[in-house]
Structure 1
Amino acid sequence: MPLAAVNGIHIYYRIDADAGDDAPWLVLSNSLGSDMSMWSPQVEAFAKKYRVLRYDTRGHGHSDAPQGPYTIDQLIGDVIGLMDVLKIKRAHYCGLSMGGLTGVGLAARHPERFERVVLSNTAALIGSDAVWTPRAAKAREVHGMVSLTDAVIPRWFTAGFIESQPLVLAPIRDVFRHTSGDGYASNCEAIRDADLRGEAKTIKAPVLVIAGTHDLSTTAEQGRELAGYIEGSRYVELDAAHLSNIEKSSDYTRTVLQFLGEHA
């Protein structure tokens, strides 16, 4: 199992590189309560053109879940640290929700490391203390993640998708239920304390913001606001809820590949 020692913890990662050793790098970053498997709908297509690096954010999947709370600085530093371990000098980046928030910080603070950046179903300020503190407390309870599953998953997809795609949802629910309660809670606290609105306005890289029309977690309005902070950014709205890369996988994949393939 590929683990990288980064910032005092071990980060689990996976590389798909059908495009060969000379292809550009593309880093994919997961949402809160998921793991790298959320990118399964995109990996095959992405790997035909890029060396794709997926990783489990700290507190998720097979990565370590050290005692929290975590900070957005740590989430940003983990990506840079992982890239350094793997000797990746420069890459494209695509993150969704929490991964998108991390991407805002990466693009603002490390412009020399990133070519093009996709910020999906996210915002520069997500939620508030009133949302995140009680959720973190619930996650730390015995069976807390099981209790949260039925509250959170219905916000990730539209009702029609949930009804018609039970086999797609089953492994997603399973990953959520078995995410470390402490890890999930600590990431809730990182999101709670992160306000990157000022930093977003400093981003100079080409940026694509993707939002979901039916997203209740990071609304389309928030997506448009984020795009408005970033000069020259592009905004695309998909007929989906929060995990738009899964609910509208073909549209999402096509949109991202088209953006990444453009030349300045």
Structure 2
Amino acid sequence: MAVASLSDLDVFYEFEGEGAPVVLVSGLAGVASYWEPNVSALARSNRVLRYDHRGTGRTTRTESRYSIELLADDLIALLDHLEIERASIVGHSTGGAIGQVLAARYPERVDRLVLYATWATLCPQMRMCMEFRQTLLMADGPPAFHRSSPIFLYPPRYVCETWPTIERELDRNIRNSTSQSIIRSRIEAVVGFDGTPYLGAIEAPTLVLVAEDDILTPPVASEELAASIRNARLTKLAYGGHAVSYCEPDAFNAAVSAFLNG
């Protein structure tokens, strides 16, 4: 990975492939490594950029008030630094919220938009999940927060079939975790986000993608997005939970590649 020194933080990023630029924007964890099962397939036809968000991974861990809009500003600053005038955006969960802000505020910078397992308004199911995760974080700290993540990310069958791998990932995530206060602030950014003012301003062709068994951002949230964005189409995958790109990478990669290069 390389580093981009922006005004108030150093952002770690990585490129792979050649072609039209595509930016992979991670969810709440914020780390570029989330896209490991997808980047090679997407890079066959595109120049793929992934990066660690502010406060996560190897990017500067700023102790401040986080918002989706702040994270969108960070991404624009990174694109400016890298002299990328226009790119397609693939955003997962929190990354999809960032994508909504980016596409609405800077329509000339967004070619195509993939909103994957994300939301515009917090449904009762998502609010309940996020409030529980925050309660666990504040009561028992980052290790307990990370240990609970598979409940919200993966289908039960996937957890049972791949538990040794998941357990190794959990141990790594705990070792590399950002601070309790940054995780809390990032959760508050998610809970406080309202995407509805942005949806009508999105002009880019948009793919809204969700798994039927996603319990964190259930299909009703994606249905709302698809109904509210011009030039949007909705694709539902049968299996994969909130992390379908991780659980079912072939199906995810095929759907996203067809949309980006169609």
The answer to whether TM tops 0.5 is yes
Residue 149 of structure 2, aligned match among 139, 149, 152? 152
Question: What's the counterpart of residue 261 of structure 1?
Answer: 261
In the alignment, does 2:244 pair up with 1:244?
A: yes
Identity of aligned residues (%): 28
Residue 91 of structure 1, aligned match among 70, 87, 91? 87
Could you say what secondary structure the match of 1:226 adopts? helix
Aligned residues: 257
Residue 42 of structure 2, aligned match among 1, 25, 46? 46
Counterparts of 1:154 and 1:246 in 2: how far apart (Å)? 14
How far is 1:136 from its partner?
4.4
Q: Which moved more, 1:190-199 or 1:207-216?
A: 190-199
Counterparts of 2:133 and 2:155 in 1: how far apart (Å)? 22
Question: What's the counterpart of residue 225 of structure 2?
Answer: 226
Residue 28 of structure 1, aligned match among 20, 24, 30? 24
How far is 1:194 from its partner?
1.3
What are the superposed Cα offsets for residues 150-189 of structure 1, whole Å, 9 maximum, x if unpaired?
A: 3222110001001112354245424542321232222112
TM-score normalised by structure 2 residue count: 0.91
Counterparts of 1:149 and 1:48 in 2: how far apart (Å)? 32
What are the superposed Cα offsets for residues 199-241 of structure 1, whole Å, 9 maximum, x if unpaired?
A: 1122111000011111111001111111111022011111221
Residue 24 to residue 109, structure 1, CA distance change in 2 (3 Å): same
In the alignment, does 2:191 pair up with 1:179?
A: no
Counterparts of 2:217 and 2:173 in 1: how far apart (Å)? 18
TM-score normalised by structure 1 residue count: 0.90
- Deviation beyond 4 Å, 4+ runs, structure 1: 127-138
Counterparts of 1:216 and 1:159 in 2: how far apart (Å)? 11
1:100 and 1:123 in contact (8 A); partners too = yes
Counterparts of 1:101 and 1:241 in 2: how far apart (Å)? 18
1:212 and 1:244 in contact (8 A); partners too = yes
Residue 104 to residue 174, structure 1, CA distance change in 2 (3 Å): farther
Question: What's the counterpart of residue 10 of structure 2?
Answer: 10
What are the superposed Cα offsets for residues 14-36 of structure 1, whole Å, 9 maximum, x if unpaired?
A: 1112x3xxx11000011112511
In the alignment, does 2:212 pair up with 1:216?
A: no
**Contiguous gaps of at least 5 residues in structure 1:** none
Matched to 2:163, the amino acid is P
Counterparts of 1:217 and 1:79 in 2: how far apart (Å)? 24
CA RMSD of aligned residues (A): 2.0
Counterparts of 1:100 and 1:200 in 2: how far apart (Å)? 12
Matched to 1:197, the amino acid is T
Q: Which moved more, 1:132-141 or 1:205-214?
A: 132-141
Could you say what secondary structure the match of 1:122 adopts? coil
